[in-house]
Amino acid sequence: MGKFDAYKIDLKNLAPGVHTFEYQLGNDFFVAIDGDEVQKGKVKVIATVKRTSVAFEMDFQLQGTVVVPCDRCLDDMELSIDTPNRLVVKLGKEYAEESDEVVVVPETEGAINLAWFLYEFIALSVPMKHVHAPGKCNKTMSSKLKKHASRTADDSEDEYEEDASEDDISMDEGSATASDPRWDALKGLIENNNN
């Protein structure tokens, strides 16, 4: 028996109608799947499979928490997961992914293993930037980051303790907004093209 056999659904032998499957994804699942984004967690999955005459419509509800490293201090942090997902599976000659939501599995096999799809649903629900709440980062790491970070006169002292946006435009003393020289160069190109 393979380590992901519990996530395999025999589609050919499903009776017409709606079927419900439940899975508890724990640390063992995340370690076995060996994905880059998430290595720990506890997520409950409810999968509803509706067999139609041409396809299998699968709706998933995933709820729980996962543990990912903080982008700033690298300590583990928990993130809540609560995401609906959908997958349509068709039987065909060979395996193919027609789109993000449509998959073809070989009719001779007639089954689909959901393990990797479940992991992808979870990984895609993790925000691109994940940092601790202000003041919750590892103090030792934050102080080392402050010590080695390059700064300008406008940088705030508590940048690593609070989630300051890097996209904020700083204010000059004599003007309403500061001018970024990179944008000025691009504006010059546009003005030259318009002349």
pLDDT at 125 over 80: yes
- Look at residue 152 and tell me if it is in a domain: no
List the domain range (segments joined by +) for residue 48.
5-125
Is 37 part of a structural domain of the chain?
yes
Cβ burial of 56 (10 Å; 0-12, 13-18, 19+) is buried
**Is the model's pLDDT at 146 over the cut of 50?**
yes
* pLDDT of 168 above 70: no
In a domain, 179, yes or no: no
| Residue 150: predicted pLDDT | 61
The structure tokens listed for 151 are 């700064």
Note the pLDDT tens digit of each residue in 33-88.
Answer: 988 888 899 999 999 999 988 899 999 999 999 999 888 888 888 999 999 999 99
pLDDT at 124 over 60: yes
How far CA 82 is from CA of 18, 19, 37, in Å, comes to 22, 21, 17
In this prediction, residues 128-133 reach a mean pLDDT of: 84
Q: pTM score > 0.75 for this model? A: no
| Res 103: pLDDT | 93
Whether 105 maps to a domain, the answer reads yes
Looking at the structure of the chain, the number of domains it has is 1
Q: Name the token pair of 15.
A: 């009776």
Query: Strand 111-113 vs strand 8-10: parallel, antiparallel, or unpaired?
Result: antiparallel
What is the C-alpha to C-alpha distance for residues 173 and 180, in angstroms, rounded to an integer? 15
Which pLDDT belongs to residue 194?
73
Any domain includes 80: yes
The pLDDT value given to residue 140:
76
Tokens of 41: 């967690």
pLDDT score for 178: 64
Domain-embedded: residue 34: yes
What average pLDDT score do residues 176-181 get? 65
Asked if residue 180 belongs to a domain, the reply is: no
Model confidence at 171, in pLDDT bands (50, 70, 90)?
very low
Contact at 8 Å (CB) between 58 and 32?
A: no
Task: Calculate ∠ Cα 7-128-182, nearest 5°.
Answer: 155
The reported pLDDT for the residue numbered 173 is 45
Region of 168 on the Ramachandran plot (φ > 0 left; ψ -120 to 50 alpha; else beta): beta
Residue 194 lies in a domain: no
d(CA 93, CA 96) in angstroms, rounded, equals 9
User: For residue 34, what is the DSSP state?
Assistant: T
Q: Provide the residue type at 17 as one letter.
A: G
